[in-house]
Amino acid sequence: MENKKVLIGMSGGVDSSVSALLLKKQGYDVIGATLELFTGSSCCNMNTYLDAKNVCASIGIPHFTYDFKEEFKNKVIDDFIDCYANCKTPNPCIECNKYMKFGIMYEKAKELGCDFIATGHYAKTEYSNEYKRWILKKSKAGKKDQSYVLWNLPKELISHVIFPLSEFESKEEIRKIANENNLKVANKPDSEDICFVPDGNYKRFLENNSNIKPKAGNIVNQKGEILGKHTGLYNYTIGQRKGLGISYKVPLFVLGFNKEKNEVIVGEEKELYKKEILVKDINLLLVDEIKGKMNVEVKTRYSSNCANATIRQENNIVKVEFENPQRAITPGQSAVFYIGDIVLGGGKIM
């Protein structure tokens, strides 16, 4: 008989709570687990643990908490700091998913005799006869789909991952199920921030937790002409217009940085558009390597739409050529490659 034992990551929110309930109703032997990752964060505090524990008690499954704060610091926070120190804009959820919510969770699941892990992400896994392998796909949740932040999962894990919310189109459906089953978290608001920066002030977090400190320098245009002063490179993001403190004949936007000269480079909006990018740290889920030129859709940030492009791979670098130039592409963010609804893979923008 198939082992239907599953370890589900419980954040204390409505998505993971309803996911646990659905798995139980589908006949799985469910164990709830909450990872302690960062003291005082929006998803690691006493209310989170109590909410998760209470939900598990109400649906009749065991619940455990595990302390992985040190691993989280080493894999996620240190990477976050390193990115900003090198003029990149990180997406810490992607590192957390790879190493914590799936990597460490799967090791814990095996210890507990579980064949599967589950989360409340809006994404889908299934076996593809066409590709002869397990694949990661978009869910039916439209703009709330979270396949973008899952491109970095180890591919061998996909057959062991269940996303119970894959067929739902809206959060309202999830809240309705929670209300109908008397889950106390039914109306709990979503957490939108980076979990370890609950006040949203990442600049203060960097100043308090790293060697990154305000260091003034010049704001220059592409020709090197000095137009103003900045307060520290980490205070600016590509595409930013407000807060530059420059009066100029046309609106100016942050185009990039020169770390060696401690300069913020600005220009007109038309200079923000790029036709080609390079992507490194590649993780391919659908194929073992990209042969020749492939037509795909590429998403360059969680909130952006997919754009038509061709991709080519040389060693562990992928060159992306867009059909139409894309605005404010940001090093450190992820470029995720799709074929239809299927995640081909992804990497970090250089």
Mind telling me the catalytic residues?
A: 96, 195
**183 phi and psi, to 5 degrees?**
-80, 125
Residues 6+ apart with CB under 8 A from 156: none
Which two tokens mark 223? 């020709």
The sign of the torsion formed by the CA atoms of 267, 272, 274, 277 equals: positive
Give the strand pairing for 161-162 and 116-118.
Answer: parallel
**52 phi and psi, to 5 degrees?**
-65, -45
Euclidean distance between CA atoms 286 and 306, whole angstroms: 18
Which of 2, 35, 4 has its CA nearest to residue 114? 4
**276 phi and psi, to 5 degrees?**
-130, 145
Ranges of H-type helices in the chain:
14-25, 46-59, 69-72, 78-85, 92-96, 105-111, 171-180, 202-209
Euclidean distance between CA atoms 332 and 350, whole angstroms: 7
Bridge partners of 71, per DSSP, are none
> What SS3 class is residue 279?
strand
